[in-house]
Amino acid sequence: FAAECERFLGPKGFGGVQISPPNDHILVNSPWRPWWQRYQPISYDLCSRSGSEAELKDMITRCNNVGVNIYVDAVINHMCGSGGGSGTHSSCGNWFNAGSEEFPSVPFSKLDFNDQKCKTGSGEIENYGDIYQVRDCRLVGLLDLALEKDYVRGKV
């Protein structure tokens, strides 16, 4: 991507580009590696198709040097989906257990999620007009972080 900034985007006057979340995320094999897997974090380690932390820093520096700003899409509200299983099937190979809400590479545990605050029977948002459901329940099964907690915000 850095070479594209240097050869094309910078010379053509592009002021910036947005990149997908560069952090550790679940790996989905069916369908094969869909775009949305990058929006299901496992940890905040930087290792994905965007490269390692060093490669990401190099790309940002090289793009900035030719006048192209990098805008990173960051996922800070949730972790992977509750049906994500357990194992090391993440872009960094970090172990997790979505069913028991264990993400030791952060570390997050069941105490760091909003399950106990959600008042729907399913744990999912059932009424998007209800601000409490939108704030405290899962969106399409994604494990909703308890961002009112200092500890959680500090890890994010």
- Whole-number percent of the chain with pLDDT over 90: 95
CB 58 within 8 A of CB 45: no
* CATH code for the domain in which residue 34 is found: 3.20.20.80
* Lookup: tokens for 103: 């993400």
Q: Is residue 101 part of a domain?
A: yes
Dmax over CA atoms of the chain, in Å, equals: 55
Q: Structurally, how many domains does the chain consist of?
A: 1
Q: Is residue 156 part of a domain?
A: no
Q: Is residue 42 part of a domain?
A: yes
Banded model confidence at residue 109, pLDDT cuts 50, 70, 90? very high
Q: What is the mean pLDDT of the chain?
A: 96
Q: What is the pLDDT of residue 30?
A: 86
Mean pLDDT of the region 67-91:
97
Q: Is residue 146 part of a domain?
A: yes
User: Minimal CA–CA distance to 156: which of 93, 113, 116?
Assistant: 113
Which residues, 6+ apart, have CB-to-CB distance to 73 below 8 Å? 18, 19, 20, 21
Calpha distance 45→104 (Å, rounded): 12
Q: Is residue 114 part of a domain?
A: yes
pLDDT tens for 9-57 read: 999 999 999 999 999 999 999 889 999 999 999 999 999 998 999 999 9
Mean pLDDT of the region 106-127:
96
Q: Is residue 117 part of a domain?
A: yes
Q: Which domain holds residue 94?
A: 2-151
Mean pLDDT of the region 67-95:
97
Cα–Cα distances (Å) from 14 to 63, 70, 151, in that order, read 10, 11, 38
Q: Is residue 88 part of a domain?
A: yes
Q: Is residue 140 part of a domain?
A: yes
CB 62 within 8 A of CB 5: yes
Q: What is the pLDDT of residue 31?
A: 87
* Lookup: tokens for 79: 């972790």
Calpha distance 147→11 (Å, rounded): 41
